[in-house]
Amino acid sequence: MNIHTLAASLLDAGTGAGKPPAQADVVLLQQLSREQLQARARRFVGLLREQDGCPNDDGGSWKQTDGHTVIHLAGGARAVLYHASGALRYVSGLAPASTPFVRGTEQDALLRQLQERALKLRLADWAGTNGELRFEHLFRTLGRGTDRAGKQSEATLFRAIGAYRQYVGGIPVLGAASAAVQLAGDGQLDTLAILTRPGNGEVLERAAVIAPEAGARQILAQLSSLLGQREIPGNTLESATMQFGYLDLGKRKPQRVLAPAYVAKIVLRHKRVRQAYVLAAAATERPYLEIPVYGSEAPVTRGRTDVGRC
Amino acid sequence: MARFGVEAIRYFNHARAAHVDTAGDLTYTFNRSNGLDAKLRSAGHTRAFYWANTNVFETDLRDSGQGGDDRHWADDVDLFWIETHGNHDAAGHATLLYDTPATEWVGNSSSWQLGEDWNNEWVMAYSCDTAALPTITGLWNIFARMHIYCGAWDLMWDGITTDECGEDVGDNLTSGDTVSRAWHDGVSDWYVDNHPVTVCVGDAATWNNGNIRWERSTINRDHLWGHGSVDPDLAPAQQACLLWYWTEG
C-alpha cells in the first residue's frame, strides 16, 4: 500500500460523520484550586451516597498521595480524585467474579440498565458549560472455563460497562471515555469514572481548522517514522479511522485548553504480529497542545552485559 | 511485599533490519512500564530488574529446563510485567517479538513454565493477541504454579490515550484491588477496545463439573502481596480446569 491509499482511508473515515467545521473554539479550562478539587470530590461522594446508596465517607479518611487523593469509604470502597484534571473515580471493592448477571441477559437490557443508572447518577451534570454526555459504547466482562478433557462451561456475564463521550459545543472530547459506569449483575454500581474537565465558560479564541487532508498527512508522517520507512508495506493495513474533536490528554495531566485535533486509530497486520496505534495531530495551524508522538524514555539502567548472570 | 521485574521494548529497528518482521516502533511503552514501576516502588515493593529494548531477552521467560533462564528473571519475581509486540501460534501459545539477536527473535510460551520455583505468581503482558480465546488452552502449560496470566485476547492499543495504563494497574494493585481487576480496569480507557483477559487454573472443587465456583477462583481472590489475600499455589497435579475472564466491546 502506498501512502496515498492510507491517506484516502483516513480521509474517508475523517469525513465520514460530516466535514469538520471551518473554525472551532479553543475552550479555556478551569484550573482548579485545592479547595475546588476538594469540593468536587465531596460533591462526587455525596452524589454517590444520595443517588446510589454507595458507602459514606467515614470522615478523616482522605489520603493524599502522588498526584491524587484517595478517599476510603466504608465497606472497602474508595473514591479517587486526580489533582491535575479533577477527574474522579469510584471503586466499590467488589470481587471481579462476584454477583454475575442472570444467564441470557440481552444487550438491550444491559443498555437500559446502564442508561437508567446514568440518569440516576445525574451524569449529565458533569458535562460542563455548553457540554453534553452521549452514550458511546457498551463493554462486557465475561468468564468461562474448560477442564482437562476439553469440556467447556457456559460463558458467565459478570459486568456491563457503559462508556460516555463528552461533547462541547457539539464537538467530541476524544481520549479515554469521559464517563464510564460499570454495573454488577445485581445492579450494584461497581465502578464509576468521571473524566470531564470543567471549563471556565470562556473561549481563548476561535481558530481555523485545517482540512482533514492536512491532518491525515501529519498522521501518516508519524506512522512512517514509527515504521522506519517512507512506504508502508503492501497489505499491511487492517483498518484506519480518523476523528475530529478536542483531545483530552489524560486524567493525570494538567491541561489549559480544549483544542481541535485529529485522532486516528490504525491497525496494521505484519508478518508475525498485529499492532494498533492511536495517533493524534493538531487540527489547527497554531498548536495549542503538545501532542508528542513518543512518550517517556526508558530509565537508565546498567547494560545487560554489565550484570553478572548467575 | 512483592518483588517485581519489568521488561519493555519500544524500538524494533534491529528486528526490521534483520527482516524478522516489519513491526513498527511503539510510542508510549515507557509511560506504561515506568508508570507501573513507579507506583509499585512508591508503595514499598522491590524492583528486581528493569530491562529495556535490546536488553530484553527471550530467555528471561523461557524455562531454565528448556534452555532459558527464567529462574533468574521472570520466575524469580512475584510479578513480571512485559511490553512488546505479541501474537499466538495455531496451538494457542503466546508469541512475543524481541529486538535482539542475543537469543531468539521470537519467544513462544510453549517453553514457559512459571512458578515451579514457587516464585512467579503473575505475568502481565501488554501485547496484542497473546491469549486468543478459541485456543486459550494453549496457555495451560505455563501454569507450573503461577497464579494468573494477564494478557490480551486481541489488540492492545498503543498511543496517547493508553499512556496511563501502567500507572492505573499499579494504583489498582496497591489500593487492594484483585490482580485480575487491576489488569482489566487498568488497561481499559473505554475509548479503544483493549481486549484484556486474565487466565488462571483451578482445582476440581472450583471446576465443579462445569458449574464453575468463581468465588473460589484465583481471578476472584488473588491480590498483590501486601494488599490482600493471595491464594496458595496450585501444582499441576491439582489443576482440574483453566478459567479465563475477558472484557469485550
- The pLDDT > 90 percentage for chain A reads 77
DSSP secondary-structure letter at B232? P
**What is the rounded average pLDDT for all residues in chain A?**
91
CA distances from B245 to B140, B228, B233 (A): 15, 20, 19
Sign, Cα dihedral of B177, B179, B182, B188:
negative
* Closest partner CB to B23 (pick from A98, A270, A301): A270
Please report the residues numbered 106 through 125 in chain B whose beta carbons come closer than 8 angstroms to any beta carbon of chain A.
106
Per-residue model confidence (pLDDT) at position A74:
86
Residue range A154-163, pLDDT digits in tens: 999 999 999 9
Q: Which residue of A has its CA nearest to B158?
A: A277
- The pTM is what? 0.96
**Interatomic CA distance for residues A27 and A197, integer angstroms:** 11
Of A6-20, A136-150, A229-243, B229-243, where does mean pLDDT reach its minimum?
A6-20
CB atoms within 10 A of CB A37: 18
The yes-or-no verdict on residue A59 having pLDDT over 70 is no
d(CA B94, CA B125): 10
Q: Which of B94, B95, B84 is nearest to B138 (CA)?
A: B94
8 Å CB contact between B70 and B113? yes
Task: Report residue A309's pLDDT band, with 50, 70 and 90 as the boundaries.
Answer: very low
Q: How far is B196 from chain A (nearest CA, A)?
A: 9
B105-127: b or e for each residue (b if 16 or more CB lie within 10 Å)?
bbbbbbbbbbbbeebbbbbbbbb
A193:B190 CB<8 A: yes
**Amino acid A308: pLDDT:** 45
Question: Is pLDDT at B129 greater than 60 in this prediction?
Answer: yes
Q: What average pLDDT score do residues A36-48 get?
A: 94
Q: Give me the residue label for grid cell 491532518.
A: A215
> Cβ(B211)–Cβ(B175) under 8 Å?
no
Cβ–Cβ contact B72 with A under 8 A: yes
Q: Give the tens place of pLDDT for each residue, B46-81.
A: 999 999 999 999 999 999 999 999 999 999 999 999
Q: Does pLDDT of B130 surpass 80?
A: yes
What are the sequence ranges of the domains in chain A?
3-27+204-282, 31-145+153-198
Would you state the pLDDT for residue B147?
98
Q: Which amino acid would we find at residue B196?
A: P
pLDDT tens-digit readout, A273-290: 999 999 999 999 999 999
Cell digits of residue A68? 491524587
Domain around B117? 3-246
Structure confidence by residue, pLDDT tens digits, B227-243:
999 999 999 999 999 99
Give yes or no for B20 touching A (CB within 8 A): yes
| pLDDT band per the 50, 70, 90 thresholds, residue A75 | confident
**Confidence category of residue A9, pLDDT binned at 50, 70, 90:** confident
Please state the domain count of chain B. Answer: 1
Q: Is the confidence at residue A218, as pLDDT, over 50?
A: yes
User: What number is the average pLDDT over the span B77-103?
Assistant: 97
- Predicted confidence (pLDDT) per residue in A84-122, tens digit: 999 999 999 999 999 999 999 999 999 999 999 999 999
> Which residues 25-54 on chain B approach chain A with CB closer than 8 angstroms?
25-31, 33-34, 37, 42, 50-54
Tens digits of residue pLDDT in B172-211: 999 999 999 999 999 999 999 999 999 999 999 999 999 9
A37's CB contacts (< 8 A; 6+ apart) are A69, A81, A83, A86
Q: Which H or E run contains A205?
A: strand A199-208
Mean pLDDT of B3-11: 98
Contact B170, B36 (CB under 8 A): yes
Nearest CB among B106, B129, B248 relative to A274 is that of B129
Of the partner residues B28, B42, B53, the one whose CB lies closest to the CB of residue A295:
B28
Instruction: Please report which confidence band the pLDDT of residue A301 belongs to, taking 50, 70 and 90 as the band edges.
Output: confident
Q: What ipTM was estimated for this complex? A: 0.96
Average pLDDT, chain B: 97
- A1, A233 Cβ separation under 8 angstroms: yes
